[in-house]
Every structure is written in C-alpha cells, then in structure tokens.
Structure 1
Amino acid sequence: MVKRRTVSNFIAELPSEPESSLPLGAIVLSNFQPRRYFDPTKQSQLEVSIKEHGILEPLVVRSAGDGKYELVAGERHYRAAKNLGMESVPVVIRNLTDEQAMTLALVENLIREDLNPVEETEGILALLGIELKLRASEVPALLYRLRNKQSSDNVITGELQTVQSVFESVGMSWESFVANRLPLIKLPQEILDVLREGKIEYTKAKAIAKVKDEANRQQLLAEVVENNLSLTQIKERIKDLQSAPQPQDAPQTQIKDAYHRLNKSKLWEKSPKKWQRVQTWLEKIEAILEEE
C-alpha cells in the first residue's frame, strides 16, 4: 500500500503551538481511540527504542482545561513512556475541534499502518462518517449504494467525491475497500476478536466465517490459531467438514437454513410462480403438522 501523505504533513496543516514538554500526569487519554489492541511484543520493542533514543516524535495533545491535556495522537509512545517511568514527554499542543481531533487520531494511525484490519476498517468508516456527516454505522450502506450507482451510470456525485478524497488521503482504493474490507465487520465476534489481536490474517478470517455451524467454526478457528494453518489448509478443513456426516440435530439446521434462504430469496416479489409452488408445499407441511 502506497501512502500519499505523511503524518508530519498532515499535522503541519493544522494550527499549533511550538513543541514543548508536559508531565505525564497532565495528559489524559481520549475517549476516542481507533486502536483497541496494543501488541505486547511491539510495545516492548518500542520501549527498548525509547530507552536508547528517546521519543523522537512528539505526542499531539489539545487543551482539556484545568491544566490537563487530552492525548490526540501517540498513545503507543504514551504507554511506553509510562511503563518506563518517564516523568515528562515532548508534545505539540494543537488547537483542535472535536472533529479535527478525531480525524487526526484516525489519519495518524491509518497513515502509519499500525492498525490491524478490523481497526483499520472501523477507523476508515469513522473517518468517512465525520466527513459525510453520518453515523459510522450508516456508511457501509452508502458505500455499497455508491458502488452500484457508479457502475450503472458512472456519475460522480458530491458524496462520491468526498469518499474518493478520504481514501486518497490514506492511499487506499475505495472500491477495493468495499469489496475486501467491508465484509469484515459482519464476521462472527469470535473471529473478529482473534483478527483484532493479529493472530490470523483477514483472508483466513473470511474463509473460516463460511463455516455456518458455530461449534465447527470455533473448533476450526482454534486449530488455525494454534497451528497457524495456511489458507489452503483451511479450505481443505472446510471441505472435510462439508462432506462429513451431519449431526443428529440436522433437521433443525435444515429448517433454519431453508427459512433463511427462503426469506432472502423474496420469491413473492421476484418470482410469483415459484412462490405459488412454495405456498403449495407450505400448505402440505401445515396439513402434516395438523395430523394426530
């Protein structure tokens, strides 16, 4: 991935005061932090580097009142400094609105490529939400709609221009993001958790998610994490699961699958003739259930 902007260039565009130093006790963490998982190994490596060279790039903060400053960018360095027992750290104080602070925190992490795939996806959705004045949860539907609209009439709307601008700022293709990253947010929670911790790659995560049976999926996930199975090996395991004899509760699974497929197909709208046939079978099923 080629980054088209640097952290220093982005920060330089914002109003600031000269670099200074602040006591660690004067810095408070922000409620908004795109990074949720801090890799222990990388944190240890950072601490070794800071011991040897110090903090080479200042933390970015903004005034929080009462002599306190909210951390906007640089939480990994803040945590490392705290673990090392440092009394103060170099900072740059920025005069930022809430929106600017959130945007800077997102871009700082995205440009550095420090986020795992889940955090990166969530971060970009949050950043798009800020720029488009939408809730992050509303952004995926908009992206899918823009992709479909662009492929049908090739018209560039104001929304699409905003989307393109955001992705250009982090050196990423928005079409690729929609195709490859948006599906991640729909993954089962147990897969999201290990993906967030960097224990598996997102291509493997998407493959594992294709296993619908929860018990089999969790067992496969544990095996992948423990043995670092390749994507090819994962696909082989999935193939074996699909060809294995079905458990005793298969009827419940069949009923559930049939219901979801039928509901998703919307035959009553798309194919009235097929829906009429389905209704015939439903009537037969009801008749069987009424039998004593």
Structure 2
Amino acid sequence: MARKRPLVDLTPTRKTRNTTDLDALFSADSAEKSHLLSIPVSAIEADPTQPRTVFDDQSLQELAGSLKQDGLIQPIEVIQLGRNRYQIVHGERRWRAAKLLGWEKISAIVRKFDYDKVTKFVRQMVENIQREDLNDVDRAAGLLRLKDLMQGESQAANDSKKTWRKTTWADVADRIGYSRQRVSQLTKLLQLPEEVQASIMQGSLSERDTRIFHRLTARQQRALHRARVVDGILSQAETKRVADYIKRGATQSVAVAIQAVQNGTDKFDKNRGEQIKEQNSRSVTQLGRSLERISAETLSPAEQTILLADLQQVQTKLDQLIQTLSSN
C-alpha cells in the first residue's frame, strides 16, 4: 500500500535570502497563477519529455489499489495547454493508476502558465528523485538531457553577447542537488552495453552492482552480464572476482576467468605479487642504467650498425610490453 502523503500547500511563501535553487523551484511564489480543480482524466496527456520512461505494471496496480481504498491524497500538477487540454508536470503514475480504475475526473493543481524548459525538467527530476521513482539509467539520461537544456539556456541568454560558458557536470550537479561524484557514477551507466542498461531499468542490477564492469571491454561486459543475470551462474561476489581476475591481466576471456573462480584458482598470492613487483622494478632500473652506459662516440660505422640493430630489438620488446599494459 502506498504511504499517505500530505496535501499540497498552495499558500504563497516569502523567499528568504538563503533559499536555494531547488527550494525556489518548489516554492509557492506562483500559487496565485494556479488553482485546484477536478478535471477530466481524458483531457490530460503525459509529457513526452519527462525523465521517467519506465512504469512498472505491478507497481501501478498497487498504486491503483491504494487510490481505490484511500482516494487521491496528493493532487497531480498540470499545465493548461488550451481549452480542455492539460499536460502533466507531476503525478503521471497517479494519473495512470486513475485511468486503470476508470476514474472520469482527478484532482489537479492547474497552472495557467508553463515553466521554462530547464525549470520544468528540474522539477520533474527532483520529484522523481525524492520519491525514488526513477531507475538509475533514467536518472543518467535525465542528467544528460538537463546538461543539454542548461547549455541551450546559457547560449540563448547570452546570444546577443556572442559569449557563453560551456555547461559542466559540476553545474548540473549543483542545479539538481547531487554531489559531483554521484553525477559521475550515474553518467558512466550510459557507456555500458544496452543489455546491461536494460537490467538496471528492470531492477535486476543497480548502479553500484555495475561498478565492477568499469575497465572491461564491451565484449567482456556483455559476457559477464550474461553469466550474472541471464544464466545466473555467478553471485555478485563471484562476478566481482571474475572482473578482478581479468583486470589483473590473468586472462582476457570471461569464460576462463569464470572457470578459475569456480575452481578457486583465481586467488591472488600477495607474496608472489610483491616478488614480481620488486623484480620488475629492479629490471627497469638495471635497463635504465645499462642504457646510460652505452656510448656510440668511439664505435666504428659497422659497430654502430650492430648497436642500432640491438637497440631496435630492445625497442620492439618495450613497445610490445607497453601495448600489453595499455590494453589491460
């Protein structure tokens, strides 16, 4: 059953000097231009640009049951597009649930004006974030669209000056009330394969679950996702072990890494690791010192040719090693 929420207070409030951007968005300083009405459900349409794109059928059925038992506790918010035409700003789930119940009318706060694009989108984002109605992929896509809207707003406001500042992710974080780290975590989801994003939207994975996919190739991400979510042969802990095994450079194959994890041979020997680290460090130091001692000043042309060939072989091996390390 959905938790009851307080009625919306339409009483105008004075904006204090310390009011934040988000506080201003949800203040009632424009309440004089809005009023509460009971309007036909059929006269209302969804906003195609709102950040929420997934509406779970079971969740809507539960909400419909709550509305049937307790009624509509909090009105939806709409803007008036024309005569008997309204578009939802907040409350699309409540509107959809009302349609499932066959309601002819629904209580709505009707605004006689539209917000500017950025303000309207921020209001929708914040409401969904506060209600936890958005999945993380929708949030990430919403942040990306908000960045574009803010950039367009900045350019339009300064078009006459021909100078405008590029909108940064820090600007988006400040506008929506997120930390910059959280914005970075969410936007990285848009770099994942579509099937991984779909699992997040369906609730099979969270943003936190997918952090182990970072620094893997798209092919490895798909294979690991299939083993974890589709085939169900790995737990979340085992999935992390597989990813760590690949990132250590033990193998590039997800299948081989899964086999190692299942056999228990993926465990990293810290002592052996330290020995390899020290050996590599000594080798690099010795190579540097050896190169410093090489001089071509007293060599004959024939000897210089031989030295050049030797150095080219060393360079080839170094290039191969650098390429291997860069790809891991």
- Alignment TM-score, normalising by the size of structure 1: 0.64
- Higher RCO structure, 1 or 2 (CA under 8 Å, sep 6+): 1
For the residue of structure 2 that corresponds to 1:19, the secondary structure is: strand
Query: Aligned pair 1:236/2:253, yes or no?
Result: no
Cα distance change on mapping 1:246 and 1:73 into 2, 3 Å: closer
Contact 1:24 1:87 (C-alpha < 8 Å) held by counterparts: yes
For the residue of structure 2 that corresponds to 1:63, the secondary structure is: strand
Equivalent residue, structure 1, for 2:193: 188
> In structure 1, what is the Cα distance between the partners aligned to 2:97 and 2:144?
28
Deviations 1:71-124 (CA, angstroms, capped at 9, x unpaired):
111111111111111111110111223424333222221232211111122223
Equivalent residue, structure 1, for 2:203: 198
Cα distance change on mapping 1:78 and 1:126 into 2, 3 Å: same
User: 1:143 deviation in Å?
Assistant: 3.3
Quick one: percent identity of the two aligned structures? Answer: 26
The residue type paired with residue 61 of structure 1 is V
For the residue of structure 1 that corresponds to 2:89, the secondary structure is: strand
> In structure 1, what is the Cα distance between the partners aligned to 2:106 and 2:22?
22
User: 1:221 deviation in Å?
Assistant: 1.4
For the residue of structure 1 that corresponds to 2:107, the secondary structure is: strand
* Equivalent residues in 2 for 1:133-282, closer than 5 Å: 133=152, 142-143=167-168, 162-163=171-172, 165-168=174-177, 172-173=178-179, 175-208=180-213, 210-212=215-217, 214=219, 216-226=220-230, 227=232, 230-239=235-244, 243=250
Equivalent residue, structure 1, for 2:125: 106
User: 1:66 deviation in Å?
Assistant: 3.7
User: 1:228 deviation in Å?
Assistant: 9.1
Contact 2:46 2:88 (C-alpha < 8 Å) held by counterparts: yes
For the residue of structure 2 that corresponds to 1:72, the secondary structure is: strand
Which one of the candidate residues 57, 60, 79 is aligned to 2:74?
Answer: 57
Cα distance change on mapping 1:213 and 1:35 into 2, 3 Å: closer
For the residue of structure 2 that corresponds to 1:89, the secondary structure is: strand
> In structure 1, what is the Cα distance between the partners aligned to 2:97 and 2:207?
28
Deviations 1:142-196 (CA, angstroms, capped at 9, x unpaired):
536xxxxxxxxxxxxxxx6x5464143xxx21x2224422212211222111112
Query: Aligned pair 1:19/2:19, yes or no?
Result: no
The residue type paired with residue 143 of structure 1 is T
User: 1:25 deviation in Å?
Assistant: 0.8
Query: Aligned pair 1:96/2:100, yes or no?
Result: no
Runs of at least 4 residues of structure 1 off by over 6 A?
4-9
The range that moved more, 233-242 or 29-38, is 233-242
Q: Provide the aligned C-alpha RMSD in A.
A: 3.7
Q: When the two structures are aligned, how many residues end up with a matched partner? A: 225
> In structure 2, what is the Cα distance between the partners aligned to 1:28 and 1:69?
6
Contact 2:45 2:87 (C-alpha < 8 Å) held by counterparts: yes
Query: What 5-or-longer segments of structure 2 have no aligned partner?
Result: 1-19, 155-165, 255-311, 317-328
For the residue of structure 2 that corresponds to 1:34, the secondary structure is: coil
Cα distance change on mapping 1:245 and 1:230 into 2, 3 Å: closer
Equivalent residue, structure 2, for 1:290: none
> In structure 2, what is the Cα distance between the partners aligned to 1:117 and 1:164?
15
Deviations 1:229-260 (CA, angstroms, capped at 9, x unpaired):
5542211233566646869xxxxxxxxxxxxx
Cα distance change on mapping 1:225 and 1:62 into 2, 3 Å: same
The residue type paired with residue 182 of structure 1 is T
User: 1:68 deviation in Å?
Assistant: 0.8
> In structure 2, what is the Cα distance between the partners aligned to 1:43 and 1:11?
29
- Alignment TM-score, normalising by the size of structure 2: 0.58
> In structure 1, what is the Cα distance between the partners aligned to 2:69 and 2:23?
23
Contact 2:45 2:86 (C-alpha < 8 Å) held by counterparts: yes
Equivalent residue, structure 2, for 1:48: 65
Deviations 1:8-50 (CA, angstroms, capped at 9, x unpaired):
9816244442211111110012221211111233222211211
Give the number of the structure whose residues are more often helix, by fraction: 1
Query: What 5-or-longer segments of structure 1 have no aligned partner?
Result: 136-140, 145-159, 248-276, 282-292
User: 1:55 deviation in Å?
Assistant: 1.4
